[in-house]
Structure 1
Amino acid sequence: MNEYQDVSLLIERLAQADEQQQIVQLNEMVDNDLDEGSIALLLEAFPIDQRVRMWRNLPLELHISVLTEMRAEARISIINALSETELKLTLAKLDNLSLIEWSDSLPDELIADAMRLISRDELELYDRAKVYDDEEIGRWVEQKVFTLPFSISVKRARGLLEKNQFETPKYVYLINRNKTFRGMVLYSDILQADDTTQLKTLAQEHLVTLNAHQSLNDAIDAIEHSDFPVVPVTDDHDALVGHVDWQFALSTQREIYEARLMAGTGMDEGDDLFTPILKGTQKRGVWLGINLLTAILASVTIGLFEDVISQVVALAVLMPIVASMGGIAGSQTLTLMVRGMALNQVTIGNRLALLKNELSIGSINGVIWAVIIGGIAGLWFQSPVLGYTIALAIVVNMAIAAFFGVIIPILLDKFKLDPALAGSVILTTVTDVIGFFAFLGTASLVML
Structure 2
Amino acid sequence: MALDLLADYIDKINLHFDSETETTTTINELANEVEEQLSDEQIAVLLESFPLNLRTSIWESLSDETHQNVFIEMKHDSRKLLLNTLDDEYCFPLLTKLDAVHLIELSESLDNRFIDYAVTNMTAKQRSLYKKSCDYTEEEVGRWQNFTEVQLPQRLTLSAVKKVCSKSLPAFTDVVYIVNDDGALVGEIPLNSIFTADDDQQYRSLIETDVLFINTNDEIADAAEKLIDSDRSALPVVDENHCLTGRLDLPAAYRYKEDILASQLNQSAGLVDEEDLFGSIWQSSKNRAVWLGVNLVTAFLASWFIGLFEATIQQVVALAVLMPVVASMGGISGSQTITLIIRGLALGQINDTNKRNIIAKELKVGAINGVLWAVVIGAITYFWFDNPLLSLTIFIAILGNILIASLSGVWVPWILNKFNIDPALSGSVVLTTVTDIFGFIVFLGLGSLLLL
| Both proteins in one fold, TM over 0.5 | yes
Residue 20 (structure 2) aligns with:
none
Q: Give 1:11's aligned amino acid.
A: I
Indicate which of 406, 430, 433 corresponds to 1:429: 433
Q: Are residues 1:20 and 2:25 paired?
A: yes
Cα separation, 1, equivalents of 2:3 and 2:188 = 31
Q: Aligned residues: percent identity?
A: 39
Aligned: 1:307 with 2:306: no
Work out whether residues 45 and 273 of structure 1, in 8 Å CA contact, stay in contact via their aligned partners in 2: yes
Q: How far apart, CA to CA, are the structure 2 residues paired with 1:446 and 1:261? A: 42
Structure 1: where are the runs of 5+ without partners?
none
Matches within 5 A, 1:241-252: 241-252=245-256
Could you give the per-residue CA deviations for residues 398-441 of structure 1, whole angstroms, max 9, x where no partner exists?
23222321222123223333222221122112111111122112
Match runs of 1:173-184 below 5 Å: 173-184=177-188
Quick check: 1:132–1:138 contact (8 Å CA) kept in 2?
yes
Could you say if the C-alpha distance between residues 199 and 66 of structure 1 is closer, same or farther in structure 2, counting changes exceeding 3 Å? farther
Residue 104 of structure 1 aligns to a residue whose secondary structure is helix
| Partner residue, 1:442 | 446
Q: Secondary structure at the match of 1:244?
A: strand
CA gap 1:440/1:272 in 2 versus in 1, 3 angstroms: same
Q: Give the conservation status (yes or no) of the 8 Å contact 1:169–1:187.
A: no
Q: Pick which of 272-281 and 322-331 moved more.
A: 272-281
Aligned residues of 2:189 and 2:207 also touching (Cα < 8 A): yes
Range that drifts further, 235-244 or 314-323:
235-244
The one-letter amino acid paired with 2:385 is: F
Q: Does 1:318 align with 2:322?
A: yes
Give the distance between the partners of 1:381 and 1:96, measured in 2 at CA.
70
Contact 2:148 / 2:170 at 8 angstroms: preserved in 1?
Answer: no
> 2:264, 2:424 within 8 Å by CA — same for their partners in 1?
yes
User: Aligned AA for 1:22?
Assistant: I
Match of 2:359 in 1: 355
Match of 2:417 among 406, 413, 429: 413
Q: Deviations over 1:364-405 (max 9, x none)?
A: 543554455345434542333223322332233223222321
State the TM-score, normalizing by the size of structure 2. 0.83
Query: TM-score when scaled to structure 1?
Result: 0.84
1:273, distance to aligned residue in structure 2 (A): 2.1
CA distance in structure 2 between the partners assigned to 1:15 and 1:202 by the alignment: 59
- 1:339 is matched with which residue? 343
Deviation track 1:286-339 (CA, whole Å, cap 9, x = no partner) reads: 333333333222222222212111110111122122112211221222122112
**Which residue, 282, 286, 306 being the options, matches 1:282?**
286
Task: Give the drift of 1:101.
Answer: 1.4
Task: Provide the rounded CA distance (Å) in 2 between the counterparts of 1:24 and 1:220.
Answer: 45
Aligned positions of 1:216-255 closer than 5 A: 216=221, 219=224, 222-223=227-228, 226=231, 228-235=232-239, 238-255=242-259
Pairs within 5 Å for 1:367-386: 367-386=371-390
Cα RMSD (Å): 3.4
Q: What residue number does 1:7 align with?
A: 6
- TM superposition shift of 1:363: 4.5
Q: Please state whether the residue corresponding to 2:247 is helix, strand or coil.
A: strand
Aligned counterparts of 2:270 and 2:441: Cα–Cα separation in 1: 27
- Displacement of 1:199: 4.2
Deviates more, 1:230-239 or 1:428-437: 230-239
Corresponding position of 1:78:
82
Matches within 5 A, 1:89-238: 89-107=93-111, 110-111=114-115, 114-115=118-119, 118-158=122-162, 168-169=169-170, 171=173, 172-185=176-189, 187=191, 190=194, 193-194=197-198, 196=200, 199-203=203-207, 209-212=213-216, 213-216=218-221, 219=224, 222-223=227-228, 226=231, 228-235=232-239, 238=242
Shift of 1:341: 0.7
Contact map agreement 1:209 1:222 (CA 8 A) in 2 = no
Q: Kindly state the Cα deviation for residue 442 of structure 1 after the two structures are TM-superposed.
A: 2.5
Q: Quickly say closer, same or farther: Cα 1:217–1:320, change in 2 above 3 A.
A: farther
Residues 266 and 273 of structure 2 are in contact (CA less than 8 Å); yes or no, is this contact kept in structure 1?
yes
Q: How many corresponding residue pairs?
A: 441
Residue 35 of structure 1 corresponds to 39
Query: Partner of 1:233: helix, strand, or coil?
Result: strand
SS of aligned partner of 1:45: coil
SS of alignment partner, residue 66 of structure 1 = helix
User: Which consecutive residues of structure 2, in runs of 5 or more, have no partner in the other structure?
Assistant: 17-22
Q: Secondary structure at the match of 1:242?
A: strand
In 2, Cα distance between equivalents of 1:200 and 1:409: 52
Q: Which 10-residue stretch deviates more, 234-243 or 143-152?
A: 234-243
Instruction: Please give the secondary structure, in 2, of the residue aligned with 1:80.
Output: helix
Secondary structure of residue in 2 paired with 1:330: helix
Greater displacement, 405-414 / 208-217: 208-217
Task: Give the direction of change, closer, same or farther, for the CA distance of 1:177–1:376 in structure 2 (3 Å limit).
Answer: same
CA contact (8 A) 1:64 1:94 kept: no
Which whole-Å CA distance do the structure 2 matches of 1:199 and 1:11 have between them?
A: 55
| Corresponding position: 1:267 with 2:267 | no
**CA separation of 1:295 and 1:120: change in aligned 2, threshold 3 A:** farther
* Distance in 2 separating the partners of 1:248 and 1:267: 24
Structure 2 counterpart SS, 1:6: helix
Counterpart code for 1:222 = L
Counterpart residue type for residue 348 of structure 1: D
CA distance in 2, matches of 1:191, 1:111: 43
- The 1-side partners of 2:64 and 2:149 are apart by 25
